[in-house]
Structure 1
Amino acid sequence: MDPQLTAMAQTASATVVALMATDVWQHTRDGVIALWRRVRPGQAEEVGTELEVTRAEILAARQDGDTLGEQALAGEWQGRLRRLLIADPDIAQELLRVLEESRALLPAGRRSRPRWSTCVPRSLAAAGSTRPVVTSTSPNGDRGRGTELARGAGAAHRRERSRPAVPRRA
């Protein structure tokens, strides 16, 4: 399992779930469904329905202050997005574009710095790979702390946090 795609799925799922409770949800939903239609056309309609069900659950969880429920829902979408990225890693940049466009549509006061960044390290570029390397970044710039919704308190999470997600540039 590619840890870079897993990290991207984690960050993207947290972002998708967070955007479900905003006015830009329809744009985000349409972009996610378009990606599904491209990679797994037979599942696109079902995914659209599942996104709407998840949105209703997110809105209820937020109203009830149920952060664990939000985390569980983000975890479900992390698995779905990870499988989609594994099926077609080339959609990674498109997924990031959809999420960045949605974030840009938020009112200025509700925007934060993106919680992700992408780069292609020189070592991968030299090998001819164009697969993005994604690292989570919180609004204050702390690496590995920007996916609050998708995080659990387990040992695996603590191990991943202690490892750098991308090689440092010189």
Structure 2
Amino acid sequence: MAMDPIAASAATALVGAMTSEAWQQIRTAFVDWWRRARPDDADRVNAELDESQRRLDEDRTTEAALVSTWQDRLESLLSENRALADQLSHLAEMAEQAKRDSPRVRNETGDRTGTLEQNAEASGQSRVYQAGRDQHIHES
């Protein structure tokens, strides 16, 4: 079977969203979509998505394998019902947006969400104070 670009895009976005703060919302939307397409498989797909997300959290090197697995499943579903392609494209866009909006950043205190980029330039007698969270400066 030739690679379906919609399935490839959706699988990439789906797995990418597994590390976002919006994952539960994306998973629910995806399972609801699957339930309309193949009602008998929806509960199994829901459990498999949870397992995929758990595996990805434990080992980021599994991402490519998970994308391939979900791409195969999506291609199979689209080959049975091509009318689902537009809905799948919409889900992929939603997942991509969620990934862009809220990536998960790990640190020593646990999961934190968001991104932070700070740039500063000081010259002469100037000072720059930057913080990713609370900052208290006491000067007299």
What TM-score comes out, normalization by structure 2 length? 0.65
Q: Following TM superposition, by how much is the alpha carbon of 1:61 offset from its aligned partner in structure 2, in angstroms?
A: 1.4
Q: Following TM superposition, by how much is the alpha carbon of 1:89 offset from its aligned partner in structure 2, in angstroms?
A: 1.0
Gaps of 5+ in 2: 104-140
Q: Which has the higher contact order (CA 8 A, sep 6+)?
A: 2
- Alpha carbons of 1:60 and 1:7: their partners in 2 closer, same or farther (altered >3 Å)? same
Structure-2 separation of matches of 1:108 and 1:29:
16
Per-residue CA deviations over 1:82-117 (Å, capped at 9, x if unaligned) read 11111211111111212223433456586xxxxxxx
Structure 1 residues 116-135: aligned runs within 5 Å: none
Structure 1 residues 59-78: aligned runs within 5 Å: 59-62=57-60, 66=61, 69-78=62-71
Q: 4+ residue stretches of structure 1 with deviation over 4 A?
A: 105-110
Letter in 2 for 1:46: R
Q: Indicate conservation of the 8 Å contact 2:27/2:49, yes or no.
A: yes
Gaps of 5+ in 1: 111-170
- Alpha carbons of 1:103 and 1:71: their partners in 2 closer, same or farther (altered >3 Å)? closer
Structure-1 separation of matches of 2:71 and 2:5:
9
Letter in 2 for 1:91: L
- Alpha carbons of 1:108 and 1:30: their partners in 2 closer, same or farther (altered >3 Å)? closer
Per-residue CA deviations over 1:106-162 (Å, capped at 9, x if unaligned) read 56586xxxxxxxxxxxxxxxxxxxxxxxxxxxxxxxxxxxxxxxxxxxxxxxxxxxx
Paired positions, count: 103
Q: Indicate conservation of the 8 Å contact 1:39/1:87, yes or no.
A: no
Q: Which residue of 2 aligns with 1:104?
A: 97
Match of 1:21, SS state, is coil
What TM-score comes out, normalization by structure 1 length? 0.55
Q: Indicate conservation of the 8 Å contact 2:7/2:75, yes or no.
A: yes
Matched, 1:85 2:83: no
Residue from 50, 53, 57 that aligns with 2:51 = 53
Q: Indicate conservation of the 8 Å contact 2:13/2:95, yes or no.
A: no
Structure-1 separation of matches of 2:49 and 2:82:
21
Match of 2:59, SS state, is helix
Larger Rg: 2
Q: Which residue of 2 aligns with 1:26?
A: 24
